[in-house]
Chains A and B, each alone.
Chain A
Amino acid sequence: MQHLIEVGGLSKKFGSFQAVKDLSFSVSAGEVYGFLGQNGAGKSTTLRMLLTLIHPDEGSIRLFGHDLKTHRKEILSRTGGLIERPDVYPYLSAFENLQLFARLSGLRLSRQQLMDQLATVGLAQRAQDKAEVYSQGMKQRLGIAIALVHQPELVILDEPTNGLDPQGIADIRQLIRSLSKEQGKTIVVSSHLLTEIEQVADRLLIIDKGVKKVEGTAAELFSGEQKLVEVTTPGAAQVLDQQLAEIPFPATVVGGDKLQFSLTEPDIPLLTAELVKRKIPVFGLVTKTKLEDYFLHITGRS
């Protein structure tokens, strides 16, 4: 499948702070690509670099097969973006905001076309109200309408569910699915709400402190090679140092009496055998596949 986004060796520093370091990834056409990371992990910086809001220090970005530096205008005419908050002009109505951004995208849409676009995000009834009276959810929907007004092939959404109520979150999730499955758009979406990403993304990239930790489909990440096995044993740190130092399974201590292993499925009985062999008292052994736990483990925050 042809790669619509190809990022190689991307780095960005703000002063002495390394926001993104040697990041490489690619996204295929039609894919929903999830960007996971905690606040300050480098998600927004990366997505801003994809939208030319931030200039990379190093690395290359190719979108639609073209270099972003040399084909910025052409690429942005095929890309829609919504970065963090959906800020619009408060003294203009939703209709005027949408019309303004449509014209910036080089489009002269008719009144009916603009109203149709507002209707798709449920704002047709409030089209003439000034944006300053809109709720956060309505602003978010208007922001999405603006990002999509020129029918882009690639949509980049940074934390699109921020500040939304459960219904708003569900609406965004539904919209992402619809854009992908029904309209065939390629979507890059970031969030720290991991369950949201898990539900919509075809592939995920976990980023932490600006560095790519892992990338793959949800199935690849949570089955087969990477199961989280949590073993409850008293004095976990001591046990790890003294009795398990030589076993071939890397482990981390969690909460004083728990050891967490990242294992492939066939390794689980081998680990159990090692624990028995070393007469380690096991009060519990749980295999986890939850994204949150995996994410915390991957980023070393478990």
Chain B
Amino acid sequence: MWTVLQIELFKIFRRPRTYLAFGAITALIGIIQLGLKVDGKEYTDFVMADFAGSFSVDGNILNGYFICYVILQLLLVHVPLLIALIAADMISGEANLGTLRLLLTKPVSRTQWILAKWLAAMVYTLSLLVWIAIMGLFGSMLIFGTDDLFLMKSSYVVIVKESDVFWRYFGAFLFAALAMCTVAALGFFLSFFAQNSIGPIVATMSVIIVSTILSTMNIPLFNAIKPFLFTTHMITWKEFFDFKVSLANEAIIGSIERPGRIVQSAIVLLVHIIGFGAATLILFRKKDILT
């Protein structure tokens, strides 16, 4: 099993397409960082103009933590495409190349092979998230420095103490990894049905777009299915930045306002990941290789 996983990872990281995703992320984060480094002052002045009469903020709002939050918000919408590029190609790509025939004549069980491929897709997804963390969090901390994290939510403002931020990012990235692994599992599942990777990549993105629309639209007809859509839970990483407040109206360091929601979302995403993986495995074990 370990050998097969190593081989799958070797194949992933020998393909130019893999580095396209890493390159795209590097470029996107670089552009955001450059833009905020050059015009960040104007941006914060514009945002803070609404609060000018109510309160003023001391310190560096445009710090590395804030930049990382902006990056996460922007990137996690687009990263699924980069994940689908690889995950949705895992089985269909082999069928397209014709290598599926050769692979399955080797003494490796189909179960082992699918599990190794599935794990490799997850490793790729996690490595992409690690790269976002390195570039988005550590890179931004290096360029913009650190301070308290100032966030403007829809109807309130959150200020997270500098000493209380880092573990929240750890949790947020961990949760984002879970969300992106769900995308990878979906792409992997859809790749079973096709003989080339274009179809599953488009299908993966289509499912995400449709589900996201259903998740965000406030239509009673769809409200019943919303809790079961993985897209409803993909943005739960933001919950890590909402904390409990004491009776004295002070932030409780190290607290999360709704931990139950994070757990619930994580369970829904895990069920999707395992469900897509198991469905692929069951179908693939019975599949006739005709390519």
Number of chain A residues close to chain B: CB under 8 A: 35
Least CB distance, A181 to chain B, in whole angstroms: 24
B106 touching A104, Cβ below 8 Å: yes
Q: Which of A46-86 contact B (CB under 8 A)?
A: 48, 51-55, 72-74, 76-77, 79-85
- Which residue on chain A has the smallest CB distance to residue B289? A53
Contact with A along B254-291 (1 / 0, CB 8 A): 00000000000000000000000000000000101110
A76 touching B105, Cβ below 8 Å: yes
B289 touching A89, Cβ below 8 Å: no
Given contacts A104-B3, A104-B4, contact A55 B97 (CB under 8 A): no
Contacts A52-B104, A87-B101, A88-B97 known; list 19 others, CB within 8 Å.
Answer: A48-B288, A53-B104, A54-B290, A55-B288, A76-B107, A83-B105, A84-B98, A84-B101, A87-B99, A88-B99, A91-B14, A91-B15, A103-B3, A104-B103, A104-B107, A143-B102, A146-B102, A147-B102, A147-B105
Interface centre among B7, B106, B109, B286 (most CB of A within 10 A): B106
Q: Give the size category of B's interface with A.
A: 20 to 34
A92 touching B105, Cβ below 8 Å: no
Contact with A along B1-29 (1 / 0, CB 8 A): 00110110011001110000000000000
Q: Which of A119-154 contact B (CB under 8 A)?
A: 143, 146-147
B7 touching A103, Cβ below 8 Å: yes
Interface centre among B15, B98, B109 (most CB of A within 10 A): B98
Contact with B along A80-124 (1 / 0, CB 8 A): 111111011111100010001101111000000000000000000
Least CB distance, A258 to chain B, in whole angstroms: 39
10 nearest interchain CB pairs?
Answer: A87-B98, A77-B107, A53-B289, A81-B105, A76-B107, A104-B106, A54-B288, A51-B105, A73-B107, A83-B101
Q: Give the docked Cα–Cα distance between A143 and B15 (Å).
A: 21
- Which residue on chain A has the smallest CB distance to residue B96? A87
Contact with B along A266-286 (1 / 0, CB 8 A): 000000000000000000000
Contact with A along B135-159 (1 / 0, CB 8 A): 0000000000000000000000000
Taking CB atoms, residues of chain B closer than 8 Å to A54 are 288-290
Q: Give the docked Cα–Cα distance between A204 and B234 (Å).
A: 60
Q: Give the docked Cα–Cα distance between A29 and B93 (Å).
A: 37
Task: State the B residues within 8 Å of A (CB).
Answer: 3-4, 6-7, 10-11, 14-16, 97-99, 101-109, 286, 288-290
B289 touching A85, Cβ below 8 Å: no
Task: Kindly identify which residue among B3, B16, B106 contacts A76, using a CB–CB cutoff of 8 Å.
Answer: B106
B104 touching A101, Cβ below 8 Å: no
Taking CB atoms, residues of chain A closer than 8 Å to B290 are 14, 54
Taking CB atoms, residues of chain B closer than 8 Å to A105 are 106-107
Taking CB atoms, residues of chain A closer than 8 Å to B289 are 48, 53-54
Taking CB atoms, residues of chain B closer than 8 Å to A104 are 3-4, 7, 103, 106-108
Interface centre among B4, B101, B109, B289 (most CB of A within 10 A): B101
Taking CB atoms, residues of chain A closer than 8 Å to B3 are 103-104, 106
Taking CB atoms, residues of chain B closer than 8 Å to A101 are 102, 106
